[in-house]
Amino acid sequence: MAFGDDVAQRGWQTGSVVPAAMVSALEQLLTRPGQQPTQIADADWLTIVSQTCDVVASRLDQEPLVEVLHCRPHAGKPRKGRRDLESTRHLDFRPNRATHQQLVLAAHAINDRYVIPRELLAAHNPDAGRALDAIASQKVLAWYALRAGRPSWPNNFCDRVRAVRDALEDALDALSDEIAEVRVGIEEKAEELEPGYPYHVAVFFVVDEDVWSGDVDGRKAINDAFANFVAEINACDGVEVNQQLSEVVPGNEFSWQETKQTDLWDFANLSHRD
Amino acid sequence: MSDTIQTRHYTARQAALLQRRPTDIIEAANSVEDALEGRDQFLVHLNHSHTGLHGANISILGVGALGHGIAAPLTAGTKVLVLSTSWPTTAPELLTDLEDYHAEDSWSRWAGEAKKALQKAGSSAPRQTTAAARWRVERLSSLQAAFGFTIQDLAAVLGVTRPQLYKWLDAANDIKLQEASRARLAAVERMAKEWTSRSSAPLSSVGKEQLAAGRSAFASMSAEVINEAAVIACFDELVGKLQEKPKSRSQRLREAGFTRRPSVRSLPSDE
């Protein structure tokens, strides 16, 4: 049997949890330079976050390592600013609503991430009672993808926008990604501007074509959100909205070129110095 | 700064008058007051506290409405303590131990932190809106939803400039519309209602196409004087034009089974 088949047969995949029996063998590997090995408490979830295709790759030498995320229980609800991919650094999430209805786990993208030898997976089965459900697995992978793919906005721009973050979040409350996407172009995207020199931004709400052509209520919600968002960001000290260019536009008219000239608006983009 | 610090709750202006503070702190406090102008009972509260011999006091600075203070931790460990629990109507309460007060550096650090926190608090204070202003933005959003015009085109239809329209679209601007503007807005709303009763597509898709009468709907709607009846009369012709429009590439893609991939944000919330 190929190595990967053995691992697959045991049930390892993205979201599998390392069983208690295996943790003791791992603890010496969960280290940081100059620090004591990380202690994994019984209630903690040491979760596989490599993609399943890598976890079950047939040859060990192709994928010698797998990534694990050390998640700790958090008492209470997922915290604002950490839930639902609001931060690229911290994540509070519900690992499995079916088996652990009330449980919330918390993790840090860098501090809690480790790599372990994949060969260890062939000696153990994953934890039988704990695993991330499909939604939580997707969320964790999306979290890492978001972190890797986020645009690097100037720190001074982020600092200025953070001052109105709550108001901007409120403005977008009624807007789901499925009806419109918020994109911004930042004229000085590579510059750290001193106080007194404003950043210039163009704001686009790109509307799903079906909503644009057939959903008056959806368009009203989008236009409401656009008005509020633009007003708030324009009121932000040190940021000016280019009112000649900013628009609500149908998705079938927003070009590939314009996509390249703008960034997807994401509050997680503001979190890199949190 | 080598003076005593009297603390209490005070308005920023009172703080500036009562206290001998570095100029930048006064300016920061005043700028907060400007930002909060018009808000009831909004106070600035400055505290400077210290690590004493018998334990640590955490320095804080807060800006907030009565009972709703926003606090930001300060990092400077200092020698002198000043605390306040008083209200604007009470006398200042001085808790400074002057003999211990020789921490010039800590004051400087605190002053820097205080200035930053004040500026941040001032800039993050939510902007105030009125029901009338929100209603105005709602009405404009409804128009945009019906017509799908660009800001420039909607401004032309409403007979205002683009910057003016942006001001109308900001609910924090409590603008009183002129009678002529109100009348024009009402007329455009009536036309929007007529249009949405005929089609759920935005009028802009065909709004600039030449009509049998020789003029586009947009041209008629942005005329100095709108002939409402004439504009509404052309809506049926426009609906016909909409139905004749060829499908877009993305519509054809979708019909062939190439659907949108859901975004990660569509995953159920963990809240």
CA distances from A181 to A102, A251, B6 (A): 32, 9, 51
Give the CA count within 13 Å in the CB-facing half-sphere of B72.
21
Question: Does residue B212 share a domain with residue B175?
Answer: yes
Query: Would B267 be classed as within a structural domain?
Result: no
Considering only CB atoms, B124 lies closest to which of A93, A164, A244, namely A164
CA–CA min distance B86, chain A (Å): 29
CA–chain centroid gap for B249, Å, is 38
Question: Does residue A204 share a domain with residue A140?
Answer: no
- Give the pLDDT of residue A272: 55
- Contact state of B148 with A163 under an 8 Å Cβ cutoff: no
Domain count, chain B: 2
Instruction: Look at residues A94, A125, A149 and tell me which one is the last residue of a structural domain.
Output: A149
Question: Does residue B97 share a domain with residue B23?
Answer: yes
**Helix pair B179-198, B151-158: axis angle to 10 deg:** 120
Residue A226 is part of a domain; what is its CATH number? 3.30.460
Instruction: Look at residues A149, A178, A211 and tell me which one is the last residue of a structural domain.
Output: A149
Q: Which ranges constitute the DSSP H helices of B38-176?
A: 104-124, 131-147, 151-158, 162-168
Structural contact between residues A12 and A48, judged by C-beta atoms closer than 8 angstroms: yes
Query: Would B1 be classed as within a structural domain?
Result: no
**pLDDT tens digits, one per residue of A119-154:** 999 999 999 999 999 999 999 999 999 888 888 899
- Contact state of A84 with B271 under an 8 Å Cβ cutoff: yes
CA–CA min distance A32, chain B (Å): 28
Angle, CA of B66, B70 and B75, to the nearest 5°:
135
- Give the pLDDT of residue B27: 52
User: Taking all residues of chain A, what is their mean pLDDT, rounded to a whole number?
Assistant: 92
Per-residue pLDDT of chain B (271 residues; tens, 9 = 90+): 223 333 334 444 444 443 434 444 545 554 554 444 444 333 444 454 444 444 444 333 333 333 333 333 333 332 222 323 222 333 333 334 434 444 444 455 555 655 565 555 555 567 888 999 999 999 999 999 999 999 999 999 999 999 999 999 999 998 889 999 999 999 999 999 999 999 999 999 999 999 988 899 999 999 999 999 999 999 999 999 999 999 889 989 989 999 888 777 778 888 7
Query: What residues in A contact B270, CB-CB < 8 Å?
Result: 78, 83-84, 92-94, 104, 139
- Give the pLDDT of residue A103: 97
CA distances from A134 to A149, A150, B163, B263, B268 (A): 22, 24, 48, 15, 11
Which of A210-219, A239-248, B6-15, B61-70 is the least confident region? B61-70
**Chain A contact for B200 (CB, 8 A cutoff):** yes
Question: Does residue A169 share a domain with residue A78?
Answer: no
Question: Does residue A58 share a domain with residue A110?
Answer: yes
- Contact state of A77 with B271 under an 8 Å Cβ cutoff: yes
**Chain A contact for B142 (CB, 8 A cutoff):** yes
CA–CA min distance B144, chain A (Å): 7
Considering only CB atoms, B172 lies closest to which of A178, A231, A237, namely A231
Domain residues for the domain of A230 are: 155-273
Question: Does residue B169 share a domain with residue B95?
Answer: no
CA–CA min distance B161, chain A (Å): 11
Which of A51-65, A169-183, B88-102, B138-152 is the least confident region? B88-102
- Give the pLDDT of residue A2: 84
Domain count, chain A: 2
- Give the pLDDT of residue A88: 86
Question: Does residue B186 share a domain with residue B84?
Answer: no
- Give the pLDDT of residue B169: 94
Domain residues for the domain of B72 are: 9-124
Most confident of A237-251, A260-274, B19-33, B91-105: A237-251
- Contact state of B202 with A232 under an 8 Å Cβ cutoff: no
pTM for this structure? 0.70
Query: What residues in A contact B126, CB-CB < 8 Å?
Result: 166-167
Question: Does residue A132 share a domain with residue A164?
Answer: no
Instruction: Look at residues B124, B155, B174 and tell me which one is the last residue of a structural domain.
Output: B124
Residue of B nearest to A91 (CA): B270
Calculate mean pLDDT across residues A75-95: 90
CA–CA min distance B42, chain A (Å): 18
Instruction: Look at residues B124, B154, B171 and tell me which one is the last residue of a structural domain.
Output: B124
Instruction: Look at residues B71, B95, B124 and tell me which one is the last residue of a structural domain.
Output: B124
- Give the pLDDT of residue A259: 94
- Contact state of A213 with B205 under an 8 Å Cβ cutoff: yes
- Give the pLDDT of residue B45: 47
Considering only CB atoms, A214 lies closest to which of B137, B146, B201, namely B201
- Give the pLDDT of residue B142: 96
A93 C-beta neighbours (distance < 10 Å), count: 24
Q: Which two tokens stand for residue B45?
A: 């509260």
Chain A and chain B share a number of CB contacts under 8 A equal to: 123
- Give the pLDDT of residue B116: 60
- Give the pLDDT of residue B124: 56
